[in-house]
A and B are shown apart, each in its own frame.
Chain A
Amino acid sequence: MDEQIALLNIKDILVVIVPSDPHDETITMLQEDVLEALQKNASNGVILDISTVEIMDSFFARTLMETSMMIKLMGGVTVIAGMQPSVAITTIELGLNFGDIVTVLDVDSSLEYLKDLL
């Protein structure tokens, strides 16, 4: 199944390719995998690429938000990239707020943003 969570390292930035329709278990595992990789590679920035995600319910969104908070505690910065329009709409309609997390159009912009920041 395409439940693969791909993790790539580009210098000190961790790029996470989030699967398009993951099981709850996979979503939870994503959180663990990301934090572990962050520590192992001493990354300073994490890009969560959700460009293939078509449906994001509150569990998925909240887990991503929590992950970002955890990344911050470990000294990293999170950027969420590539949210699809329909996901953006339902997120707002669900009343979810991504708060301080930086969200950008695509991975390119994320790399630029992190480059400037870090």
Chain B
Amino acid sequence: MNSELLEMMPIKSDGDIVRIRRRTRDLSKAQGFKLADVTRVVTAASELARNIYHYAQEGTVHCYALTEGRRKGIKLVFEDKGPGIEDIELVMEEGYSTGNSMGLGLPGAKRLVDKITIESEMGNGTKVEIIKWM
């Protein structure tokens, strides 16, 4: 699988979240995703970027164009040095059912993309990777 870095964006402010939405929209459109999927990717990106801004205050997102054979896709990697998630499984499940603010981001994003990988260590930050294929 080929992975080409398209752009890196900081998450440090309210404005950054908006910029990430707009750039993600441009980049996924450029990759060739149809409107409904562009909307999904952008919405998922917005959720994850906001998570970082609210809980870690600072982080980054890297956007990659993926190619596997003739398949094209997009990958977004969100990283922060925030408090971390204690129980990833619980968050994925609980947030979804209670609909509270923190929780909705991750399970929501999961439903919008094809693959989501979460790495987190208490006190040492979190890394969330999402992939959507065309």
Contact = CB atoms under 8 A, between A and B. Distances in A.
A32 interface: no
Contacts of A62: 101, 104
A22 B21 CA distance: 11
Main secondary structure of the interface of B (DSSP, over half): helix
Contacts of A55: 21, 25, 39, 42-43, 46
A3 to B, nearest CB: 9
Given A21-B18, A55-B21, A95 B111 contact: yes
Contact of A21 (B22, B101, B107): B22
Nearest to A25: B14
Given A23-B18, A93-B111, A94-B112, A58 B39 contact: no
Nearest to B13: A23
B46 A90 contact: no
Contacts of A21: 18, 21-22
Nearest to A58: B104
Interface size class of B (residues with CB under 8 A): 20 to 34
Contacts of B47: 57-58, 94
B107 A89 contact: no
Interface in B1-31: 14-15, 17-18, 21-22, 25
9 contacts: A54-B39, A93-B108, A93-B111, A93-B112, A94-B104, A95-B104, A95-B108, A96-B99, A96-B108
